[in-house]
Amino acid sequence: MTSRSAAAPKRYDRAYFDRWYRDPRRAVVHRDVLARRVQLAVAAAEYLLERPIRSVLDVGCGEAPWHALLERVRPRARYVGVDSSAYAVARFGRARNIRLGTFGGLARMRLGGPFDLVVCSDVLHYVGTAELARGLRALQKLTGGMAFLELFTKEDATIGDDVGFKPRAAATYRRLFRAAGFVPLGLHCHVGRALEPDLISFERGAPAPQTRRRSPRKHR
């Protein structure tokens, strides 16, 4: 989570992760909160896919705290993490399958998608606008099921790491997401073009043109 300030260079080294994820005086994402995020994302993706998830892409994963929690509930799912932290990749890359990369460089990476669940949590508000637009287009193509894209806007009251925070309006994110081909469902959940035709109209978080469902989900 973030609060606002002018952008400044920073290092995602061990000291950074100690400060914001392990220091009880400053940590803003506790394990029980993270567990609920994982439960939400997995449940929503599997509701839409009508089967257990088989693959997860976690962009901006840091030390990959999602990895262990996902492994508990879906041990057979393939996990791929991407992060720009050389420290995180050197320390956890092999054990947690983290690859060195940036959000804007996703299109150049061979990640083996599309993925049933794509995660990009607490990342997008640190990315420049041109890189954000470019990365969202690539991310949409990698989304075969659902994307959990958690972010904060300038309208939100937030606490935590404010270095490099980009104070964009919620309307700006909606426009960029729409341009990239993402359909909002609510609670940070989105689908891309691969699953959009399967949505019923009331599942959409905002009005959109009606589409014909390819394989209607059962209801009773």
Residue 90: inside a domain: yes
Residue 87: inside a domain: yes
Residue 220: inside a domain: no
The reported pLDDT for the residue numbered 201 is 84
The reported pLDDT for the residue numbered 215 is 44
Q: Which domain holds residue 93?
A: 14-203
Residue 3 binned pLDDT confidence (cut-offs 50, 70, 90): very low
Mean pLDDT of 25-48: 87
The reported pLDDT for the residue numbered 18 is 75
Give the DSSP letter of residue 19: I
The reported pLDDT for the residue numbered 26 is 63
Q: Is the pLDDT of residue 43 over 70?
A: yes
Mean pLDDT of 62-91: 96
The reported pLDDT for the residue numbered 8 is 47
CATH number, residue 186: 3.40.50.150
pLDDT of 78-124, one tens digit each? 999 999 999 999 999 999 999 999 999 999 999 998 999 999 999 99
The reported pLDDT for the residue numbered 204 is 77
Contact 142, 115 (CB under 8 A): yes
The reported pLDDT for the residue numbered 25 is 66
Residue 217: inside a domain: no
**Mean pLDDT (the chain, rounded):** 87
Give the count of domains, the chain: 1
SS (HEC) of 25-82: CCCCCCHHHHHHHHHHHHHHHHHHHCCCCCEEEEECCCCCHHHHHHHHHCCCCEEEEE
